[in-house]
Structure 1
């Protein structure tokens, strides 16, 4: 596995030396979000998800795919640690359980820089786009007309979201407890028995500089510069749409 190829996958200069600073972390997170989609295609291809780093590298880097949180954060953590960052994996409990369910905790990354812990999330669909100091309750991050802040309660943390100055509501809850691949390596092994692929919608979504492009089942949704447009696509046109909007070449 080559760090240079991962950097090229997220459209960064692989010949440059990147220091483990907050500026570098913010740049890496931004570039990952703009170039690697969150996508759950493997649910519908009857393929088992893998948290094995070699498998994830092959899928996202060599095959130009995206991934779910277990995949993208496995790869992103490897990139961060290879560049000298002090980082590890944590779990979060998502407030809205309608997408997958309570048995599938969200995987995140915690990065420590100059004794400050930063929450990093590159695989949660529409979400925070920058690293957030988990102990700074006054800091608000804004992306796609949503505001985000972190609230601490004892040893637990809440990522709160506010859409268009409405009400602050929990997005997910997390602690600083370190997690390891062994904690989630078998999490999707029983998908066929659970029939999970029939419970969740097909979802491929990629951040853009000023918006987002999403495939949701048979619908394409484009949000850009505060404008929204959507159109239906047939199953026959999915392959074409995946290539055109996400640069994913695959049969589905």
Structure 2
């Protein structure tokens, strides 16, 4: 394997010589979720770069930052290809439960569809605290992980032919939609990732260009940091702290390894 594969394995903590069959993908997804945060710092700082394999490798594997869906899932996609998997990237539309509506800024979620032994699976490591942590079959079966229950259902809408549905552990009592997507419409090239990034960075209705957001799963729950609050879930119990700028920077360094404050 090459440099990319080696650096990815080092970042998430799996042996460089270990073979990764389909049955071990849940381990890869769990370790990636615990090691790499979902965060928008480069968008906030207006320091985005084109989405290429080299740039994503540099940002997340060398500089050890996190990223948004179009970075985190493209990173995983490259790793899957290098390890012999049949995978494609496709775009989706995120659902906002509070508004009971899909985002109106377009297909700004990037996810992965993987084919294995004639079956298709959704694989996602770029959906913030909503990660399935396992491949989710497109045939409708429910999968259960440390983060909750997940399934993919069919739909007939302008937003996609399938939807990811979830019941997050300790948070949801009923199924809710995460996003709609089209497994049969893979992206035409990485330029579509740049299109997503441009919308996320520049659109007036983008949820990610207003203020910092950093979130990551932990062995006991998850943590979320904004410029106003720090929220921590531990074994189903939540604590929320109001913070100022100095506290934000300290927590970003401590929990997310963010160091570029000068």
Please give the TM-score of this superposition, normalised by the length of structure 1: 0.87
Matched with 2:133 is: 129
Give matches, 1:25-40, under 5 Å.
25-40=25-40
Matched with 1:50 is: 50
Is the 2:201–2:208 Cα contact (8 Å) retained in structure 1? no
Give the CA deviation at 1:18.
1.4
Q: What is the alpha-carbon distance in structure 2 between the residues aligned to residue 198 and residue 143 of structure 1? A: 26
**Unaligned runs of at least 5 residues, structure 1:** none
Matched with 2:191 is: 182
Matched with 1:93 is: 93
Aligned match for 1:139, one of 129, 142, 159: 142
Aligned match for 2:234, one of 221, 224, 232: 224
Give the CA deviation at 1:80.
0.8
Q: What is the CA deviation profile of residues 161-193 of structure 1, one whole-angstrom value per residue up to 9, with x for unaligned ones?
A: 235663322211111111131223234347776
Give the CA deviation at 1:140.
3.7
Moved more, 45-54 or 72-81: 45-54
RMSD: 2.6
Q: What is the CA deviation profile of residues 41-60 of structure 1, one whole-angstrom value per residue up to 9, with x for unaligned ones?
A: 11221212531221111110
Aligned match for 1:161, one of 160, 166, 169: 166
Q: What is the alpha-carbon distance in structure 1 between the residues aligned to residue 197 and residue 71 of structure 2? A: 12
Q: What is the alpha-carbon distance in structure 1 between the residues aligned to residue 144 and residue 201 of structure 2? A: 39
Q: What is the alpha-carbon distance in structure 1 between the residues aligned to residue 108 and residue 200 of structure 2? A: 15
Q: What is the alpha-carbon distance in structure 1 between the residues aligned to residue 12 and residue 66 of structure 2? A: 11
Q: What is the alpha-carbon distance in structure 2 between the residues aligned to residue 240 and residue 165 of structure 1? A: 31
Q: What is the alpha-carbon distance in structure 1 between the residues aligned to residue 141 and residue 201 of structure 2? A: 44
Q: What is the alpha-carbon distance in structure 1 between the residues aligned to residue 164 and residue 15 of structure 2? A: 32
Is the 2:95–2:103 Cα contact (8 Å) retained in structure 1? no
Give the CA deviation at 1:101.
5.0
Is the 1:87–1:110 Cα contact (8 Å) retained in structure 2? yes
Task: Provide closer, same or farther for how the CA distance between residues 104 and 158 of structure 1 changes in structure 2, counting only shifts above 3 A.
Answer: closer
Is the 1:100–1:200 Cα contact (8 Å) retained in structure 2? no
Q: Which runs of 4+ in 1 moved over 6 A?
A: 97-100
Q: What is the alpha-carbon distance in structure 2 between the residues aligned to residue 160 and residue 246 of structure 1? A: 28
Is the 1:38–1:67 Cα contact (8 Å) retained in structure 2? yes
Task: Provide closer, same or farther for how the CA distance between residues 50 and 100 of structure 1 changes in structure 2, counting only shifts above 3 A.
Answer: farther
Give the CA deviation at 1:104.
4.8
Aligned length: 248
Is the 1:239–1:250 Cα contact (8 Å) retained in structure 2? no
- Secondary structure of the residue aligned to 1:47 is coil
Give the CA deviation at 1:17.
2.8
Q: What is the alpha-carbon distance in structure 2 between the residues aligned to residue 192 and residue 36 of structure 1? A: 21
Q: What is the alpha-carbon distance in structure 2 between the residues aligned to residue 185 and residue 152 of structure 1? A: 28
Q: What is the alpha-carbon distance in structure 1 between the residues aligned to residue 126 and residue 210 of structure 2? A: 16
Is the 1:43–1:197 Cα contact (8 Å) retained in structure 2? no
Q: What is the CA deviation profile of residues 76-130 of structure 1, one whole-angstrom value per residue up to 9, with x for unaligned ones?
A: 1111110111111011111129897523520001111111111111011111221
